[in-house]
Amino acid sequence: MNLTQQYADTLPELVSPCLPTPVTQPNWIYFNDALAGQIGLSRDNVSLQALAGNAVFPDSQSVAQAYSGHQFGQFNPNLGDGRAHLLGEVQIGKQIADLALKGSGRTPYSRGGDGRAALGPMLREALISEHLHALGIPSTRSLAVVGTGESVYRQFGPESGAILARIASSHIRVGTFEHCAARGQIDTLKALFEYTCQRHYSDTKDPMDLLRQVSLRQAELIAQWMSVGFIHGVMNTDNMTLSGESIDFGPCAFMDGYNSAQVYSSIDQQGRYAYQNQPGIGQWNLTRLAECLITLYPNGERDERVEQAKSVLAEYEIDYQSTYNERMRQKLGLAELPDAILADWLALLSEQQADWTLAHTMLFEPDDWIELFAKPEQAQAWRESWLALNPDPDLARQHNPWVIARNHLVDHALRMAEDGDVEPFTRLLDHLKTPFDKPESEEWIRPASAGFAATFRTFCGT
């Protein structure tokens, strides 16, 4: 495996050289053999020691990245990698990608934190990131989870420590641009803009063109989240990538019964990042990016560029709705999607709190499908209107997963792993990697009990 240091060498003002903190008893918890093979790694002791922070890969110059961010709408100028280390870039096919560690020890940005991570949240990230990838949704990838042999202390007491090895197209965030703009570092902001274009949008030369490209990718990404009932839970600007990948999965969850106002994150007290708010938050975050990019223009041009940015941000709404409608058209197996059919469908699911995933997956299994609804006569009336449009079962089956990361299954797998039994985690991950295959056992598709669903909450794990 050959590591390069393009980001650190190009943008030294946005990194701080620092090494991971060694751990006492590193051990494999999870290793993604297929992904590792693409970058020339294997499950050997050399890899274990390096991914645990106990050794250094050849050509690695470990750094922590600086960034700022709006967290729940409030700007924090001093964020950065408080418990992560970028080891460098690796080659995957014709593309380069970041190799980074999470939970690997303190950095100059730790702000009093211990720099470590608990096993449960790192395994959650492995489950969710690999599941999103299998669903065809852009996401960072999980290369490995390494146990540290040490304890970390969180709100519920001591927990087993772990380090996640993550692959990302890059870790450039909206918050990275905010970091430069907030400090008036225009030369660094310009260099960041040029590097971002070179790495992700090679045909882009103008800041507003970059905004347009990022806006389109984010509109498509969030529409894909919405189509599978995924709730990110913490859509701060430091968690929005310029590459258009999903990143950071601390309090995320998948919705069971359809509820547009659904919130799972224990820290989202006001519901800012509720399911229904995700498209609007995407636009809000892009507005913060636009504010940074406008500062790259001469003062005399900025009023004109503000109007241009407003037009781009308005196009985001169109792009989002177009992508969402297309995803829903495919999920319903239709050649065309009448507005009334979609509106009535969402109203039906909302009124009866029907399971989002199974309501789509079982459309062509009418006996099982009708049992999902407390008032079957209303569901049947909608179904007759839908059947009149001659839906295509093959199209629907290609876009409706049988298996999603059900919250009760994830919760059980993580609890068992924390007690030393990783078999439930491994079995669940195997099914999450093949979400469109109908499993033999209903345990992988069955919704949670009403009691579990009513009280389930997620936590950041920091």
Q: Residue 34: phi, psi to the nearest 5?
A: -65, -45
Residue 437: count of CB within 10 angstroms of its CB: 12
Burial class (CB in 10 A: 0-12, 13-18, 19+), 325: middle
Which contacts (CB < 8 Å, 24+ apart) does range 259-264 have? 259/350, 259/353, 260/346, 260/350, 262/231, 263/231, 263/233, 264/231, 264/233, 264/407, 264/456, 264/457, 264/458
Q: How far is CA 285 from CA 270, 444, 460, in A?
A: 18, 35, 20
Looking up tokens 């890969």, which residue turns up? 57
Which residues partner with 116 through β-bridges?
104
- 3-state helix/strand/coil string of 309-366: HHHHHHHHHHHHHHHHHHHHHHHCCCCCCCHHHHHHHHHHHHHHCCEHHHHHHCCCCH
DSSP-based helix, strand, coil % in the chain, nearest 5: 45, 15, 35
Q: Residue 97 in 3-state DSSP?
A: strand
As a residue count, the chain comes to 462
Let me know: does 85 contact 53? Beta carbons within 8 Å. yes
What are the catalytic residues? 238
**Residue 86 backbone class (left: φ over 0; alpha: ψ -120 to 50; beta: rest):** beta
One-letter amino acid of 273: Y
Let me know: does 55 contact 148? Beta carbons within 8 Å. no
Cα–chain center distance at 404: 15
Tell whether the torsion through CA atoms of 247, 399, 277 and 448 is positive or negative: negative
Q: How far apart are CA 103 and CA 116, in angstroms?
A: 4
Q: How far is CA 211 from CA 13, 225, 286, in A?
A: 23, 21, 8
Helices 207-228 & 186-200 angle (0-180, nearest 10): 60
- Helix or strand (DSSP H, E) at 49: helix 45-51
Q: Residue 453: phi, psi to the nearest 5?
A: -60, -35
